[in-house]
């Protein structure tokens, strides 16, 4: 093998990698690995279910070490909480049609579409079940999925109150709780389709309107 030697002139010093460049490359690798792990976890949950999914399976699918997953998330439920947030992005749950009930219905319809096309619903069911024996996870669910996302529903309700569509004296927090609990109850206990028809019925009940009125809005 021939070695090519190059002569470097004194006025052209050999460039050396800067610390900032090294940190930038490391950050890019971390971002790629982070995304790969989230996608792998979603795929494994879709194929095997939340309960059967393991960190080893996820690491193998992502092409990374399981130590990386434990270092970044600590436990499988904490990983899957972020997977859920990644699948059910808050910015996808938005509507502003000029009518509160229609906005809320569109938001739920978008959520239900995500549930139909991704493992998000199964992941949420698994997280809620796991949280019954994991106080740290239960607190994270309250902070990030309930309190942290309450504005998604509360904002259109308040807009409706301002326009006189919804009783101005109605308890916004209670209405949000009714909607969220209605979704979770059907998902976890009763079963049945989570579709636009159910969204109309649920929103109409929470807003204190007749179902047929809500369906027309």
Is the Cβ–Cβ distance between 207 and 132 less than 8 Å?
Answer: no
Is the Cβ–Cβ distance between 59 and 68 less than 8 Å?
Answer: yes
**At residue 19, does pLDDT exceed 70?**
no
**Domain extent at residue 117:** 87-216
**At residue 10, does pLDDT exceed 50?**
no
The percent of residues above 90 in pLDDT, for the chain, comes to 74
- Judge if 43 and 93 occupy the same domain: no
Task: Classify residue 9 by its DSSP letter.
Answer: P
Lowest mean pLDDT among 46-50, 59-63, 158-162, 207-211: 207-211
Q: Across all residues in the chain, what is the average pLDDT?
A: 85
Is the Cβ–Cβ distance between 78 and 43 less than 8 Å?
Answer: no
- Judge if 137 and 201 occupy the same domain: yes
pLDDT band at 192 (very low <50, low <70, confident <90, very high): confident
**At residue 24, does pLDDT exceed 90?**
no
- Judge if 194 and 96 occupy the same domain: yes
- Judge if 146 and 204 occupy the same domain: yes
Is the Cβ–Cβ distance between 148 and 82 less than 8 Å?
Answer: no
Average pLDDT over residues 197-202: 92
> Cβ atoms within 10 A of the Cβ of 205, count?
16
Average pLDDT over residues 42-71: 96
User: Which of residues 74, 109, 130 is at a domain's end?
Assistant: 74
- 20 in a structural domain: no
pLDDT band at 26 (very low <50, low <70, confident <90, very high): low
- Judge if 124 and 208 occupy the same domain: yes
- Which residue, chain included where needed, has tokens 């969204």? 199
The span from the CA of 58 to the CA of 41, in Å, is 5
The CATH number for 45's domain is: 1.10.10.60
pLDDT in tens, 69-120: 999 999 999 999 999 999 999 999 999 999 999 999 999 999 999 999 999 9
**At residue 17, does pLDDT exceed 80?**
no
The span from the CA of 33 to the CA of 27, in Å, is 10
Lowest mean pLDDT among 40-49, 120-129, 199-208: 199-208
- 3-class DSSP string for 12-26: CCCCCCCHHHHHHHH
In the chain the first and final C-alpha atoms are separated, in Å, by 77
Is the Cβ–Cβ distance between 87 and 123 less than 8 Å?
Answer: yes
Count of domains observed in the chain: 2
List alpha helices for the chain, DSSP H.
19-48, 55-62, 66-73, 76-87, 100-117, 120-131, 135-141, 150-162, 172-185, 196-207, 211-216
């Amino acid at each position: 093998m021939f070695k090519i030697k190059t002569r470097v002139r004194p006025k052209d010093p050999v460039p050396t990698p800067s610390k900032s460049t090294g940190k930038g490359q490391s950050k890019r690798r971390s971002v790629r690995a982070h995304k790969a792990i989230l996608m792998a976890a979603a795929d494994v949950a879709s194929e095997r279910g939340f309960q059967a999914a393991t960190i080893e399976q996820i690491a193998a699918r992502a092409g990374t070490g399981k130590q990386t997953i434990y270092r970044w998330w600590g436990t499988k439920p904490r990983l899957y909480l972020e997977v859920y947030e990644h699948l059910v992005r808050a910015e996808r749950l938005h509507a502003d049609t000029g009518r509160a009930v229609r906005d809320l219905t569109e938001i739920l319809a978008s959520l239900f579409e995500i549930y139909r096309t991704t493992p998000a619903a199964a992941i949420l069911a698994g997280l809620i079940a796991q949280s019954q024996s994991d106080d740290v996870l239960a607190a994270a669910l309250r902070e990030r999925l309930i309190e942290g996302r309450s504005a998604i529903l509360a904002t259109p309700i308040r807009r409706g109150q301002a326009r006189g569509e919804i009783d101005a004296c109605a308890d916004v927090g209670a209405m949000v709780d009714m909607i969220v609990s209605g979704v979770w109850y059907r998902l976890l206990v009763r079963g049945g389709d989570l579709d636009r028809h159910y969204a109309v019925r649920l929103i109409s009940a929470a807003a204190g309107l007749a179902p047929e009125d809500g369906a027309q809005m």
